[in-house]
Structure 1
Amino acid sequence: MDDSRRRRQRMIGLLRGMARDEGYTLTCLPDVRLLRADRPLSRTPVLYEPGIVIVVQGSKRGFLGRQTFVYDDQHYLVVSVPVPFTMETHATAQEPLLAIYLRLDSAMALDLCEQLDRHEGIATAEPRGLYSSPMEASLSMAVLRLLEALANAPEGELLGPAMVREIYFRVLCGAQGGSMRAALAQQGRFGRVARAIRLIHSEYDEALSVDRLAHEAAMSVPTFHAHFRAMTGTSPMRYVQSTRLHQARLHMLRQDTTAAAAATAVGYESASQFSREFKRLFGRPPVEEVARMRRDFAMPEALTPSGFVSSH
């Protein structure tokens, strides 16, 4: 058995031991969670906070417009800016999907970017809000060290942060690390659209208009529309709607509220409109979707608020 296979088998064993239930499992590090799925999942809408998803066993496919993003034991996913997309999972009870999710620590990532910028030969690229990239051996080894530390609470708490920093370093220097560094810089049109996206996430329950979002991005409405769609694959108001609906679903799951109360909490004035749009996005009425999530998906306590809405 070669080194890469031994390393993968070790990671699978560690994740199986720590992530015993389907859904997300907390770790001793607040921005690191483990994910397990014991069954396949057909295409479903998702909205990830900025972060890194590293799959050790099984696979996921993300679909954004005509683009497909594979993240499996050979590829990881990077989300620089929250982008609503659809995702499917390939997993079985015998070979469950096992993954690690690292929510982006922007301060740490930017600090590394500044240090990398001082070195010659560090290429940059066009910023991208979402991409998958090949898993290099150096990154795989860093992930294994983190998992070994997380399996031991004192090591995880004391050494884990440095190991997370190494993973960021490997990603920023990886095959598409230049795109992540450019996205984190928040420069140019990408940065201006990103400011509008942050406004949507912080004020999703307010009456947001395209004019206001375009003003936040310092663009004309037509220019803003074009660049927003190029970056996210959807229109500004569809993005607002998706953000509200994802937040409403989480509200019902975590707060155990009614669909009507969740609709009001995210800015809907019409409960019937909320129910129609919810079913259009998730494929089920609110009550059925929440029941499915509770039945099939472990939902631990919320992460520390980051200013972004997400699916989990």
Structure 2
Amino acid sequence: MVRLLERLAPNEGYTQSALDSVRLMRSDRPLGRTPVLYEPSIVIVCQGRKLGFLGNEVYVYDAQHYLVLSVPLPFSTETQASPEEPMLAVSIRLDLIELSELMTQIGAAGHHPEAPPTGIVSTRLEGDLAGATIRLLEALTVPLDAQVLGPGIVREICYRVLTGEQGGAMRAALAHHGRFGRVARALKRIHTEFATPLNVARLAEEAGMSVPAFHANFRTVTQTSPIQYIKSTRLHQARLMMIRDGVTAAAAAGRVGYESASQFSREFKRLFGRTPVEEVRDMRESFTLSPAVRFGT
């Protein structure tokens, strides 16, 4: 895995692969607690170590453990890496339509126990999943293999996750049933419409809950309040715009729905601990998105 990822991800930060849903991650240096926003995804670390912090919980993902998120979550991470042993990982964005088909097939077989839903889990990396990951990385180095074989291997990886140690909790979360599902749908709307005015009372009404019940269930899933989650989502999106698109802080503020640039700067510094200019300067390598490496056929 390490040998393949060093070829596929030669630059720090994120590198797009030949598949739209797959990105490679690399860090050549340690990073302290850093606020991040992960979309629903599977993150498999092949070298180095990452720690995820959400509320009072700590999630380890390293060469022995992978991370899965069933909903988009802002949390903070710590990265353990060095120039000699960079942190190398593969991130697979979850396709909820394809997952629903897989879950239907798994449910029909009836051999896998259910569990309470959860938004994030760290799970031991088993042999079948590790083998599929190696085959995916190998396919990504050959353009035609990536196109023809890649989607099937991604599907297999998703299947291994959904039937793995904590697959029941993931299946329950991704099925979007019950109160967890209603909060998950609200999260999806927030991420789709973060630049528009979002009213918590309206979100609660759409979720079929009273405002107090919505707050309580929202905090159970995300470890934060709806208002803080909306604010965090906007600020994370603005940071990516400044780093990857080169827009100014004022332009990013307007794009994510802030009417006041000064309010944006205050809230940005409160979340990230630095001004927008300082954060972009120091985190550009960690969050840049490089194009896919081109290999010969």
Name the TM tier (shorter chain): over 0.9
| Cα distance in structure 1, aligned partners of 2:291 and 2:180 | 32
Give the count of matched residue pairs: 292
Alignment partner of 1:248 is 2:253: no
1:224-275 Cα shifts (integer Å, max 9, x gaps):
1101001100000000000110111122223322211211111112211110
Contact 2:244 2:288 in 1 (8 A): no
| Cα distance in structure 2, aligned partners of 1:97 and 1:13 | 12
| Equivalent residue number for residue 144 of structure 1 | 134
Indicate which of 127, 134, 156 corresponds to 2:124. 134
| Cα distance in structure 1, aligned partners of 2:168 and 2:180 | 14
Quick one: percent identity of the two aligned structures?
59
Contact 2:11 2:290 in 1 (8 A): no
| Equivalent residue number for residue 262 of structure 1 | 252
| Cα distance in structure 1, aligned partners of 2:286 and 2:54 | 25
| Equivalent residue number for residue 118 of structure 1 | 108
1:30-78 Cα shifts (integer Å, max 9, x gaps):
1111111100000011111111000000010000011011000111000
Runs of 5+ in structure 2 lacking a partner? 293-297
Q: Secondary structure at the match of 1:56?
A: strand
Runs of 5+ in structure 1 lacking a partner? 1-10, 303-312
Indicate which of 193, 208, 212 corresponds to 1:203. 193
| Equivalent residue number for residue 81 of structure 1 | 71
| Equivalent residue number for residue 295 of structure 2 | none
| Offset at residue 160 of structure 1 (A) | 0.9
Contact 1:21 1:298 in 2 (8 A): no
Q: Secondary structure at the match of 1:47?
A: strand
Q: Secondary structure at the match of 2:259?
A: coil
Indicate which of 85, 96, 121 corresponds to 1:95. 85
Greater displacement, 258-267 / 179-188: 258-267
Contact 1:50 1:79 in 2 (8 A): yes
| Cα distance in structure 1, aligned partners of 2:284 and 2:213 | 42
Alignment partner of 1:173 is 2:166: no
Contact 1:195 1:216 in 2 (8 A): no
| Cα distance in structure 2, aligned partners of 1:239 and 1:114 | 31
What amino acid sits opposite 1:209 in the alignment? N
Q: 1:233 to 1:27 in 2, by over 3 A?
A: same
Indicate which of 221, 226, 236 corresponds to 2:211. 221
What amino acid sits opposite 2:123 in the alignment? S
| Equivalent residue number for residue 309 of structure 1 | none
| Cα distance in structure 1, aligned partners of 2:150 and 2:211 | 45
Q: 1:295 to 1:34 in 2, by over 3 A?
A: closer
TM-score (norm. length: structure 2): 0.95
